[in-house]
Amino acid sequence: MPYAITQSCCSDASCVSVCPVNCIHPTPQERAFGSTEMLYVDPRTCISCGACSDACPADAIHPIETLTGPLQQYAAINAAYFGEIPPPGDPAPNFHLWDQPEPPRPLPSTPIPLRVAIVGTGPAGMYAAEDLLLHTNAEVTLVDRLPSPGGLLRYGVAPDHPATRKVADRFARFHDHPRTRTVLGIEIGRDLTHEDLLAHHNAVIYAVGSATDRRLGIPGEDLPGSIPARRLVGWYNDHPEIDTVHLPAGRVVIAGTGNVALDIARILTTDPAALRNTEIAQRALSVLEKHQDREIVLLARRGPAEASYSLSELLELQHLAGVDLVVDDHDPRIRAALAEPTNAKAAALRDAALETIDWASTPKPGRRIVLRFYTTPSELTGHDRVRSVRTTDGLDLNTELFIRSVGYRGTPIPGLPFDEESGVIPNHSGRVTDRPGTYVVGWIKRGPTGGIGTNRTCAKQTINTLLTDATTGLLPPPPRSRSSFPRASFPRAPVPRRSIPRP
């Protein structure tokens, strides 16, 4: 029986290089890599050796016959990817073609190791650290603004996705590596400058992600009760900088249907008893236990085939115990899209309950998630706080909590260039424009797209660029020693972890 890749696939392609028959696609050398929701095993050629399962950091790969419940669908999902590909030997161009082979990686010959500071300890920074520590003799200084390392892996992944969180185990050993130093609670631009880092290191890599949220630009957006998705996610993940969130009983409205929006909808409607054994913050669990009847309304600008969630996130909502998934049947385009689906996402909703909802009445008791396609919020109304969300098609949705989940945006770093339009630091293959010795990786390099594993190939490209610069003499030794960092540079003591009162 062949293997299949399932819901927790992180797409970092650790499995690809261990497969003896090259049946996991797309590989990092193929054009489709980074644009598919996950990787897939070709059941026609898999020899069931299990090597990929051992290599997967997210515990996502299993023999098809061992899949149970909703995971059984992944046998067909894996096979479907290869169903679109012409048989071997077909000369027609398709997305499965190999790209140019990678040139050999340059390695600096200097006996003195490079000293590299990496700012940010989320997946992008840690894939860069892993590459440097495993393949060069570089010394690495990890710097993080927060008092605990982990970034997005620690504070962004939903607590009921333990397999995805397991990717952090892959990085744990690099924090204890003999050539690593970790400096926490230090913010560049507040506690240290970019020049401070360069004075002690040959190179500095920024892996700071997208630190803020996109706005909708609608009236009432700043009313109490209107919050970005990042705040709610930080609340249930015990982020040290995020205070408590007022979660009302009844209806919550979310603008956006990306995976973060679906994560929030799932966490807010899952039976709290099922969350008790996860890493959810106790403060969030206590509130969820208090009010269990909840209706989450997700507003999607586009239709069922174009919504931005991944198929695996949608399938998870469909199998949520005790939660009704409803599609609001308010627009004839929805029925048409589900009757003749043009992709797997629309097809997956074919069996969902279509309902014409009377929004003026109080939400029904129980827990349910409503997908309302072709709807955009136009205004939030209320005096002291949000009381209602008005939409462009004239609907008024009563709620006391509105969550905007329409994407993230990078923020500038003092002393570095910044592209206001795209929200990234301008760079070429990871090298920051006009700033020798300075590099970027992850969302601050390429914008807020791609999941955790996408950062592995992104980091590899940046490290290749850095090593090319090292071999061509562009990274001279820094004037100050590594051992004097950070002591000599600290203007003040590291920031202690904030304590959050628990209910």
Residue 450, phi-psi category: left (phi > 0), alpha (psi -120 to 50), beta (remainder): left
In the complex, least distance from residue 166 CB atom to ligand SF4, rounded to whole angstroms:
18
Which residue, 43 or 220, is less far from ligand SF4 as judged by CB?
Answer: 43
What x/- string results for residues 4 through 33 when contact with ligand SF4 is judged by CB under 6 A? --------------xx-x-xx---------
Strands 388-391 and 396-398: antiparallel
Phi, psi of 427 (to 5 degrees): -155, 165
Give, as ranges, the residues between 33 and 52 that touch ligand SF4 (CB under 6 A).
41, 46-52
- For residue 58, the one-letter residue type is A
Least Å distance, CB 79 to ligand SF4, is 13
Candidates 272, 356, 371; CA nearest to 313 is 371
Q: How far is the CB of 5 from ligand SF4 (least distance, A)?
A: 8
Q: Tell me the per-residue interface mask from 224 to 263 with ligand SF4, x by CB under 6 A, - otherwise.
A: ----------------------------------------
Q: Is 329 helix (H, G, I), strand (E, B) or coil?
A: coil
Distance CA 47, CA 37 (A): 24
Q: Minimum CB separation from ligand SF4 for residue 1, in Å?
A: 10
We find the least distance from the C-beta atom of residue 456 to ligand SF4, in angstroms, to be 18
Mapped to the 3 state alphabet, what secondary structure does 141-166 carry? EEEECCCCCCHHHHHCCCCCCHHHHC
> Scanning residues 291 to 350, which ones bind ligand SF4 (CB under 6 A)?
none
Q: Nearer Cβ to ligand SF4, position 51 or 500?
A: 51
Shortest Å distance, C-beta 233 to ligand SF4: 33
Nearest-angstrom CA–CA distance, 234 and 240: 8
Look at the block and give the residue holding tokens 């009010």: 291
Q: How near is the Cβ of 30 to ligand SF4 at its closest, in Å?
A: 15
In the complex with ligand SF4, which residue's Cβ is closer, 19 or 325? 19
Compare residues 23 and 380 and give the one whose CB is closer to ligand SF4.
Answer: 23
Alpha-carbon gap, residue 141 to 120, rounded angstroms: 10
Q: Count residues contacting ligand SF4 (CB under 6 A)?
A: 15
15 within 8 A of 61, measured Cβ to Cβ = yes
The secondary structure of 267-317, three-state, reads HHHCCHHHHCCCCCCHHHHHHHHHCCCEEEEEECCCCCCCCCCCHHHHHHH
The CB-of-80 to ligand SF4 minimum distance in angstroms stands at 16
**CB 37 to ligand SF4: min, Å:** 18
Least CB distance from residue 17 to ligand SF4, whole Å?
10
> Which string of x and - marks every residue 140-159 that binds ligand SF4 (by CB under 6 A)?
--------------------
Q: Cα dist. 36→2, 40, 81, 311, 451 in Å? A: 21, 9, 10, 11, 10
What six digits make up the tokens of 308? Answer: 């931005």
Give the contact letters, 428-457, x = binds to ligand SF4 (CB under 6 A), - = no: ------------------------------
Whether 107 and 467 have beta carbons less than 8 Å apart is answered as yes
Q: What share of the chain is helix, strand, coil (3-state, %, to 5)?
A: 30, 20, 55
Instruction: State the minimum distance, in angstroms, from the CB of residue 419 to ligand SF4.
Output: 40
Query: Of the two residues 16 and 192, which places its CB atom closer to ligand SF4 in the complex?
Result: 16
50/86 with CB nearer ligand SF4: 50
By beta-carbon proximity to ligand SF4, the closer residue of 15 and 348 is 15
23-29 long-range contacts, Cβ below 8 Å, gap at least 24?
Answer: 24/52, 25/81, 25/82, 25/96, 26/95, 26/96, 28/456, 28/457, 28/460, 29/98, 29/99, 29/101, 29/102
Nearer to ligand SF4, 37 or 238 (CB): 37
Which is nearer to ligand SF4, 74 or 373 (by Cβ)?
Answer: 74
DSSP-based three-state secondary structure for 377: strand
Q: Which residue spans within 47-160 are E strands per DSSP?
A: 61-63, 115-119, 139-144
Sequence-separated (6 or more) residues with CB below 8 Å from residue 351: none
Among 3, 74, 81, 127, binds ligand SF4 (CB under 6 A): 3
Query: In angstroms, what is the minimal distance from the CB of 352 to ligand SF4?
Result: 32
The span from the first CA to the last CA of the chain, in angstroms, equals 50
Residue whose CB is less far from ligand SF4, 74 or 443: 74
Least distance from ligand SF4 to the Cβ atom of residue 14, Å: 11
Torsion of CA 330, 331, 335, 337, to 10 degrees: -130
Q: Which is nearer to ligand SF4, 50 or 224 (CB)?
A: 50
The partner residues of 367 in beta bridges, in order of sequence, read 294, 323
Structure tokens at 260: 């973060």
Binding mask 97-136 for ligand SF4 (x = CB under 6 A): ----------------------------------------
43 vs 486 by CB, closer to ligand SF4: 43
Contact call for residue 79 and ligand SF4 (CB under 6 A): no
- Residue nearer to ligand SF4 on the CB measure, 82 or 359: 82
Residues that bind ligand SF4 (CB under 6 A): 2-3, 18-19, 21, 23-24, 41, 46-52
